[in-house]
Amino acid sequence: MANLKEKKILIVDDESEIRIMIERFLRKEGFTRIFTAIDCASALTVCRTNKPDIAVLDIMLPDGDGFSLLTSIRQFSDMPVLFLTARGEDEDRLLGLGLGADDYMVKPFLPRELVLRLTAILKRAYSSAADKHLSVFRLGEQTIDLDSATVQRDQKEVPLTAKEHAILVKLYENHNRIVTSDALCQAVWGDDSYGYENTLMVHIRRVREKIEPDPSNPIYLLTVRGLGYKLQVGGKP
Domains delineated in the chain: 2-126 (3.40.50.2300), 130-231 (1.10.10.10)
Q: Is the pLDDT of residue 236 over 50?
A: no
Say what the pLDDT of residue 1 is: 46
3-state secondary structure 122-162: HHHHHCHHHHCCCCEEEECCEEEECCCCEEEECCEEEECCH
Rounded mean pLDDT of the chain? 87
Mean pLDDT computed over 117-135? 70
Q: Which of 44-58, 73-87, 117-131 has the lowest mean pLDDT?
A: 117-131
Mean pLDDT computed over 1-14? 84
Q: What share of the chain is helix, strand, coil (3-state, %, to 5)?
A: 45, 20, 35
| Chain CA centroid to CA 216, Å | 23
CA distances from 59 to 6, 70, 86, 104, 117 (A): 26, 10, 8, 11, 18
CA distances from 39 to 22, 43, 76, 77, 154 (A): 16, 6, 18, 18, 39
Place 6 in a pLDDT band, splitting at 50, 70 and 90: confident
Read off the pLDDT of residues 34-52 as tens digits, 9 standing for 90 and up: 999 999 999 999 999 999 9
Mean pLDDT computed over 78-88? 87
CA-to-CA distance for 84 and 104, rounded, in angstroms?
A: 6
Place 85 in a pLDDT band, splitting at 50, 70 and 90: confident
Query: In terms of C-beta density within 10 A (0-12 exposed, 13-18 middle, 19 or more buried), how is residue 129 classed?
Result: middle
Collapsed DSSP state (helix, strand, coil) of residue 229: strand
Q: Is the pLDDT of residue 172 over 70?
A: yes
Place 103 in a pLDDT band, splitting at 50, 70 and 90: confident
Say what the pLDDT of residue 234 is: 75
Exposure string over 144-175, b if 16+ CB within 10 A, otherwise e: bbbeebbbbbeeeeeebbbbbbbbbbbbbebb
Question: Cβ–Cβ contacts within 10 Å for residue 40, how many?
Answer: 21
Residue 205 CB partners (closer than 8 Å, separation 6+): 215
Q: Is the pLDDT of residue 133 over 70?
A: no
Say what the pLDDT of residue 191 is: 62
Q: Which of 34-43, 160-169, 202-211 has the lowest mean pLDDT?
A: 160-169
- The closest alpha carbon to 31, from 61, 56, 58, belongs to 56
- The closest alpha carbon to 192, from 127, 108, 126, 121, belongs to 121
Note whether 122 and 8 are within 8 A (CB). no
CA-to-CA distance for 88 and 212, rounded, in angstroms?
A: 36
